[in-house]
Amino acid sequence: MFKKVLIVTVLFLATACMNEPKNAWKESEIFYSGSYSMIGEKDRLGFIYDESEVTRFYPDKEQKYMWHFWGEDEELDGDLRIIATHETGGEPIPLVGVSFIGGSHNGADGHIPSMMSLPKSGMWKLSAYFDDKLFGTVYVKVHDRDE
């Protein structure tokens, strides 16, 4: 009986994963920390962003963004890498790579300034890793210039 339940569960999960639409990516939520609006995962990670023309992503527009991280000291210790992946695939792009982050700032436990640019329009997944362990993900939209 246990084997039948296990097989049915595995088949159900496999089918559910296969039926997930490829374009299920959705822009992350805007949240507030202190007096700043940020995009990301509230109480986990995000960067200052407000959907204005200044902070909005456009292809190849380089802009400064202040990343913020919430977590235990052990989680925020080590090399930080942020990797960008486009919704249609392709080669991942390294955006940020540092050996340490700054301390508490704007209500977060750690922070780091960065310059970021993404090469084409569409949805992008920005995955943050501390010592090769996924810490969190932020989804952003890169707008066409005529939007």
Q: Is the predicted pLDDT of residue 25 greater than 90, yes or no?
A: yes
What is the predicted pLDDT for the residue at 6? Answer: 34
* 26-33 contacts at long range (C-beta below 8 A, 24 or more positions apart): 26/123, 26/139, 27/123, 27/139, 27/140, 27/141, 28/137, 28/138, 28/139, 28/140, 33/68, 33/106, 33/107, 33/108
- pLDDT class for 130, splitting at 50, 70, 90? very high
Q: Is the predicted pLDDT of residue 23 greater than 60, yes or no?
A: no
* CB 27 within 8 Å of CB 140: yes
Bigger pLDDT: 46 vs 19: 46
**β-pair type (63-69, 45-48):** antiparallel
pLDDT digits (tens, 9 = 90+) for 47-95: 999 989 899 999 999 999 999 999 999 999 999 999 999 999 999 999 9
Would you put residue 52 in left (φ > 0), alpha (ψ -120 to 50) or beta? Answer: beta
* CB 105 within 8 Å of CB 111: yes
What is the predicted pLDDT for the residue at 145? Answer: 83
pTM, entire model? 0.82
Distance (Å, whole) CA 67 – CA 140: 14
Distance (Å, whole) CA 39 – CA 112: 15
Q: How far is CA 138 from the centre of its chain?
A: 2
- Taken in order of first residue, the domains within the chain and their CATH numbers are 31-142 (2.60.40.3830)
